[in-house]
Structure formats: C-alpha cells, structure tokens
C-alpha cells in the first residue's frame, strides 16, 4: 500500500514539476497573428531630387481583407462608405509609416504617407511614403529598410525595380536579398539592404 502511495506521489510531483518548468520558461511572442494571414509585399524605392520615395504594396489574404472591411464599417450599417474607407486607410498608412524604418548611411529617415492608398484587384493595396534626404554627395550610400510590420504579418518579399532613370539621376539598387533578422526575444523582422548610387 505504501509503495502505491509513494508511486502516486512521485507521479504527481513529476507532473507538477513539468507544469512549473513550462510556466518558468521565457515566453516568446507569436511571430504573427494568424498562420493564414501571410502578406505578400512588393517594394520599390527611388530618389527624386532630395526626396526618397517608398512604394509599399501589400497583397492580403481574403480573411485579412474581410477583417479590414469589418473595421472600416465604423457605423456598423453593413456597408463601407467612401469617407469610412478614407479614414481607415489614412490611419492605417500613418501606423504603417511608423513600422517602416529606412536608413541612409547612419541617418534614419522619417517616412510620411504621400497620397491616398491605391486599391487593386486580388486584395492588393499600394501605399506611397516619402522622406526628405537632403543633398546627397556623389558616390554610393548604403541604405536599409527594416519592416516591423512583418513581425505580425510575415510573407514573401519582392523587389519591384523602378523604371529606367536618366544617367544623371540617383539610382537605387538592391545590395543584399531581403532576409529575416531576429532580435533577442522578438519575432524576426524582414530587412532589405540597398545602395543609392549618385552620379
């Protein structure tokens, strides 16, 4: 009888120890909100005068697009008006601008929305952002885009090459393929490295 009780106590202790180890382990936040909400991106960066432009295209899953529509319907009447759409995407673009970090050399740039979102078929949304660069000296300047939005919505990254520019204008070329960079204790962030070539 004592052996049976001792075995049960050891079993209960082992279960309690296992549960304690699970709760004691450091928690890591989820890399994204839902496994079906992956987002495909197309990125284009170019320089015009003393301004950097970032064209950021998202292709959402149907589920994520439907969730956006539900949020857009602020008055809950079952229909999305033009004004509701403008308000939603204006606020979304502002939040997105804070999640997209561009750096030229050692200097971070502050992106701002530059125009309304363009809505395309297949749940695609195109955002345009800009930031002043100041005068760029001749030569090559290293640049980097860190996409914090990809922490919650990972997916495929595609570089959308800009149209051919005059030889006298700055060119932006990808110097390293997009890849995920992981910070300690945080989900990975997609990082794109590029170079601005000023003739």
Whichever domain contains 168, its CATH number is 2.70.170
Highest mean pLDDT range out of 13-17, 68-72, 168-172?
68-72
Q: What domain range includes position 160?
A: 31-198
Answer whether residue 87 is part of any domain. yes
Q: Is residue 12 part of a domain?
A: no
Residue 165 pLDDT: 67
Is 26 a residue whose pLDDT tops 90? no
Give the residues across from 1 on adjacent strands: none
Q: How many domains does the chain have?
A: 1
Residue 7 lies in a domain: no
Say which residues have a Cβ less than 8 Å from residue 152's Cβ, sequence separation at least 6: 31, 32, 33, 187
Q: Determine, yes or no, domain membership for 1.
A: no
Structural domain includes residue 164: yes
The pLDDT score that the predictor gives to residue 91 is 95
Which band of pLDDT confidence, cut at 50, 70 and 90, is reported for residue 28? very low
Instruction: Note the pLDDT tens digit of each residue in 120-160.
Output: 999 999 999 999 998 899 999 999 999 999 888 888 888 98
pLDDT at 187 over 90: no
């Amino acid at each position: 009888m004592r052996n049976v009780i001792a075995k049960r106590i050891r079993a209960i202790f082992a279960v309690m120890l296992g549960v304690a180890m699970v709760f004691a382990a450091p928690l890591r936040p989820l890399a994204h909100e839902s496994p079906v909400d992956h987002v495909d991106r197309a990125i284009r960066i170019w320089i015009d005068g003393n301004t950097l432009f970032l064209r950021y295209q998202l292709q959402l899953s149907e589920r994520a697009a439907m969730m956006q529509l539900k949020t857009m319907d602020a008055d809950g009447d079952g229909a999305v008006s033009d004004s509701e759409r403008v308000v939603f995407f204006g606020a979304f673009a502002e939040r997105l601008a804070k999640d997209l970090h561009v750096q030229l050399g050692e200097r971070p740039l502050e992106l701002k929305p530059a125009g309304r979102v363009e809505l395309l078929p297949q749940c695609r949304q195109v955002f345009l952002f800009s930031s002043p660069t100041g005068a760029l000296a001749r030569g090559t300047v290293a640049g980097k885009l860190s996409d914090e939005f990809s922490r919650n919505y990972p997916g495929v990254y595609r570089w959308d090459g800009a149209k051919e520019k005059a030889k006298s204008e700055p060119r932006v070329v990808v110097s390293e393929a997009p890849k995920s960079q992981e910070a300690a204790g945080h989900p990975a962030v997609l990082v794109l490295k590029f170079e601005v070539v000023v003739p």
